[in-house]
Structure formats: structure tokens, C-alpha cells
A and B are shown apart, each in its own frame.
Chain A
Amino acid sequence: MSVLRPLDKLPSLNTATILLVGTEDALLQQLADSMLKEDCTSELKVHLAKSLPLPSSVNRPRIDLIVFVVNLHSKYSLQNTEESLRHVDASFFLGKVCFLATGAGRESHCSIHRHTVVKLAHTYQSPLLYCDLEVPCSWVPTSLSLLTWLAQGLSEWPGSQASAALTDG
């Protein structure tokens, strides 16, 4: 089983790649479209995956940020995230992983307690963002938060040119 490592590929020039991992296809697609609409001077690539490990047969660029999308309405999405986390190298958690919890607004539909994801994010020392991907007006602020986190993560790794370009945008 291949494990995702942050430095196993060479960085591409003026490109940053985000990987969104989650079970809700439609929501991930909406978020990806919203992020690509944002103004960036350098190129942004967004990959979507249902779960990890990723198939090794595909030729893909180096992943700069992994966003695990957990739907608080579905225990299955939490179990899927926990399974996928096993296939990520430990050095990724130094600023290149982010958790996104969606659906906290509709308390009556929640199957997972908020504290479960808080504990998960705390265990992996990664930030946790809350959003409601089912509501269209939340896509833009969520995309901006993720892009800011991507820029911050990139700036902490020496020799990456994409970070400066992203923050200009």
C-alpha cells in the first residue's frame, strides 16, 4: 500500500496542488469549483479522492495540501477519513493537512458529536475548519481559508516559489 509522502516528487514551477479527500462527491466538486474560481497568479490544481491510498498508476504532481472533508451527518465519512489517515506519511502533518467539518449548522441531522472531530484534529495537530458545504454562500469563504492555509503551509517549506505567488493573488 503506497503512503503519501510530501517530498517524494519534485515541485512543479508556479503550481500548487490540493487534494480533497471525502465521501461526498457533489460537495467536494462544488468546493473544488469554487477554489478554482479564486484569483491566483500561479496555477492551482485540485484533485478529488474518495479515500486513500491513491492508485499508483496515475501520474500526478506533488501534493501540497490534503484536506479531509468530514460530514458530521454521516458516521461513514468519519470512518473513511480515519482509514485514509493511515496512508499519509507523518511529515505531512507539519502544516500540510487540514480537516474540514461540514454540516454542524444542522444540529438535528448530526450523527457525530463535534468533539469527535475536535479530538481528531488535535490528535493529528492539524487545523479544523467548520463550514456548511450544502449552503452555496459558504463556498467562497471556505475556499479562501483553505488557500490561505495552503500558502502558509508552502511558505514553511524552503524552496517553494508557489507560496509567494498564491498570496499575491
Chain B
Amino acid sequence: MDSYDASESTPRQSTSLRPEDYFIGATFLQKRLESVRKQTSFIPTPPRRKIPHCSQLQEDVDPQKVAFLLHKQWTLYSLTPLYKFSYSNLKEYSRLLNAFIVAEKQKGLAVEVGEDFNVKVIFSTVLGIKGTQRDPEAFLVQILSKSQLPSENREGKVLWTGWFCCIFGDSLLETVSEDFTCLPLFLANGAESNTAIIGTWFQKTFDCYFSPLAINAFNLSWMAAMWTACKMDHYVATTEFLWSVPCSPQSLDISYAIHPEDAKALWDSVHKTPGEVTQEEVDLFMDCLYSHFHRHFKIHLSATRLVRVSTSVASAHTDGKIKILCHKYLIGVLAYLTELAIFQIE
């Protein structure tokens, strides 16, 4: 999860044949071992991260096209690489998934009163949501309700949306073979029953595995610092934190709201190296908030658990829920989430 100093690409293998070359996937195994060795170095260097800024690929992203991704609450999952997935077969996948959904619903597994069985599934690619050229294209799956009227131009209501993406997934892309497509981050919006059905179909068809992505308090404080560091023209929301205090019989929630400009001023006073965020700066930023709160209320927030962070850029909840508010920093937010997803897979 920590990004250590960027790993240089492994040197090319020598051309002389060695016994390892006869084993399929030996080079991939070696790369995996090297990446594991890097992670278990005994004295870890403090992690540093780049502040998310507009990358050159961002210009390809049409704000209109990604507008539907903003202001929606997405549930996060990490996904292992898909086996033999092809972008040219999207129509075929739509058809198969459609049939699967209808069959599952008729089985009575997801029984809801008044359920409309006339659904349409659409697979489509979303251009421009990637970190580097190596990242695979993001794609989107939508379930729409088919309109009862035969008129063609009446598009149904979107019932469920899910999209797969990979931003700066180099550490994972290096370790898998050509047959696999790596899209470790999956975001879903809609009924939980639909997510389960779609998940089952993907797992059966592409031999992959979904697991819910939880965000712990450590990562939430990193997100708070990185998003506060983002330069914004105008702030659309206050910066808000929510802590959960474990006590019996019911847990207590503490909410702390700050004016976003004050939060940015605090960050600027803590921040030293331009363009980078270090562990010390994140800790200092959070400690300032904790000590201010302690001075007024005599409560040690550091003994409680941070569960929600909300800024003008995005808001995240520890259960793995995210809402992105600003299209300018969309790639930056997704990059960090991809890193967490890859860490969970590994």
C-alpha cells in the first residue's frame, strides 16, 4: 500500500537458455517474488505520494461523458485480473449477461414485488479513465429497464451501474501474463441484489474474484490530507470528519466540520515539499486537528476510529463507499483507490 521509491523495470533476461525458461510463467513468478521482496524490506522508507494533479491524459476525458460518475455514491470492490476478456466482444457479453440476469430473477433468487423483468444490459468502454497508456481501458456495465412502449427512442431508466478501471496499475500489470486483463477497481451503484448477480456472472465467466474494499482509518487520513491539498477554484462542501468512539452500549459518533479554506490554510502551513505528500505531513495535519479538538473538549480523538472523510474533492467512508465531487481530480482519487485495491489483491 505504501508506494516506495519507484521500482526500476527489471533488466532483460539474458538470451542464453536456462532451466527456468522452460517453465511457463517463470518470468512472471520472478517478477512477483521481486515485488514481494521489495515490500518486505526491513527498514521501510517513509511513503511519499504525488498530489493528484491533472495528468496529460485528463484532456481526453470529456467532462460531459464522466459527469454521470460524479455525485453518486459508489461501493468499492477489488477484482482479480479477468481471464480472456476482450473489448471486441462487448455486445456478446451484454447478451449473455442479459440472459443470465433474466434466468436468475426467474429462479426467484432475487424476489421483489413488482419487479420488472424487462431489463437491458449494456457494456460500453469509457475512454480516458486511465493513468498511463499501459492501463487497460475502463468499461461500464449498465442495467436499464426496457420501456414497455415499442418506441425506440425511449431509453429506459438506469437501474444499476458498475464500472471497472485501472489507474497506474503498473505493479499489477507487470506480474500477469497476456491472457489477463487487469482492472482491479470495481465501483457499483444500485441494488445490492443486482451487484451480487453481476458479480456471480463475472466470476463464472472470467475466473476472477470480487472482494469488498474497506478503507481503514490510516488510508482515510491520507485521503483527507491529499484532497485538502488539491487546489480548488471554489469549494462546494465543508471539510468534515466523522469518528466512531467504541463504547457500550451504543457507539458514539463525533463529527468535526471545518471551513475548507481553513483546512487548506492548515495544510499549507504543514506542507513542505511541493508536489509530494509525506507520512510526517499527514500525521502533523491530523495531529493539529486532534490537539485543537482536545484543547476545547478534552477528548482524545486519536483514541477513536476515523470512519468518514468528506471534502470538496470527494468523500469516503470506511465501509468502502466513495462519492467523487470534482471531475478535475477524478483520476487522482481513482489512482489511490486502485493502489488500495491492488494491495488487497496481493
Contact = CB atoms under 8 A, between A and B. Distances in A.
Contact of B302 (A76, A107, A113, A122): A76
Among B42, B300, B318, the most chain A Cβ lie within 10 Å of the Cβ of B300
B216 interface: yes
B218 A108 contact: no
Contacts of B138: none
A10 to B, nearest CB: 38
Interface string A82-124: 0000000000000000000000000111111101001100100
A76 B214 CA distance: 22
A32 B239 CA distance: 43
B2 A115 contact: yes
Nearest to A123: B43
Interface of A: 23, 73-77, 79, 107-113, 115, 118-119, 122
Contact of B305 (A23, A79, A109): A109
A74 B216 contact: no
Contacts of B306: 111
Interface SS of chain B: helix, strand, loop or mixed? Answer: loop
Contacts of A109: 216-217, 305
B66 interface: no
A110 B216 contact: yes
Given A74-B302, A74-B303, A75-B302, A115 B214 contact: no
Interface in B286-306: 286, 290, 300, 302-306
18 contacts: A75-B286, A75-B302, A75-B303, A107-B214, A108-B215, A109-B216, A109-B305, A110-B216, A111-B218, A111-B302, A111-B306, A113-B2, A115-B2, A118-B42, A118-B44, A119-B44, A122-B42, A122-B43
Nearest to A75: B302
Given A108-B318, A113-B2, A115-B44, A73 B218 contact: no
A115 B42 CA distance: 9
B168 to A, nearest CB: 21
Contacts of A112: 218
Contact of A110 (B43, B218, B286, B303): B218
Given A111-B305, A115-B2, A119-B43, A76 B300 contact: yes
B346 to A, nearest CB: 13
Contacts of A73: 217, 305
A108 B216 contact: yes
Contact of A108 (B2, B214, B303): B214
Contacts of A113: 1-2, 218
Contacts of B44: 115, 118-119
Contacts of A77: 303
Contacts of B2: 113, 115
A77 B303 CA distance: 7
A102 B11 CA distance: 40
Given A113-B2, A118-B44, A122-B43, A107 B303 contact: no
A122 B43 CA distance: 8
A118 B39 CA distance: 13
B42 A107 contact: no
Nearest to A71: B303
Nearest to B244: A109
A23 B218 CA distance: 19
Contacts of A23: 303
Nearest to B286: A75
Given A79-B302, A113-B218, 14 more contacts: A73-B305, A74-B302, A74-B304, A75-B290, A75-B303, A108-B318, A109-B217, A109-B305, A111-B217, A111-B221, A111-B305, A113-B1, A119-B44, A122-B43
Nearest to B319: A108
A118 B45 CA distance: 12
A112 B221 CA distance: 10
Contacts of B216: 107-111
Instruction: Kindly list the 7 A-B residue pairs having the minimum CB-CB distance in the complex, ordered from nearest.
Output: A76-B303, A75-B302, A108-B214, A76-B302, A111-B217, A115-B44, A110-B216
Contacts of A111: 216-218, 221, 302, 305-306
Given A115-B44, A118-B44, A110 B302 contact: no
Contacts of B302: 74-76, 79, 111
Among B43, B218, B305, the most chain A Cβ lie within 10 Å of the Cβ of B218
A122 B183 CA distance: 37
A11 to B, nearest CB: 35
Interface in B1-19: 1-2
Contacts of B303: 23, 74-77
A112 B222 CA distance: 11
A118 B43 CA distance: 8
A113 B286 CA distance: 15
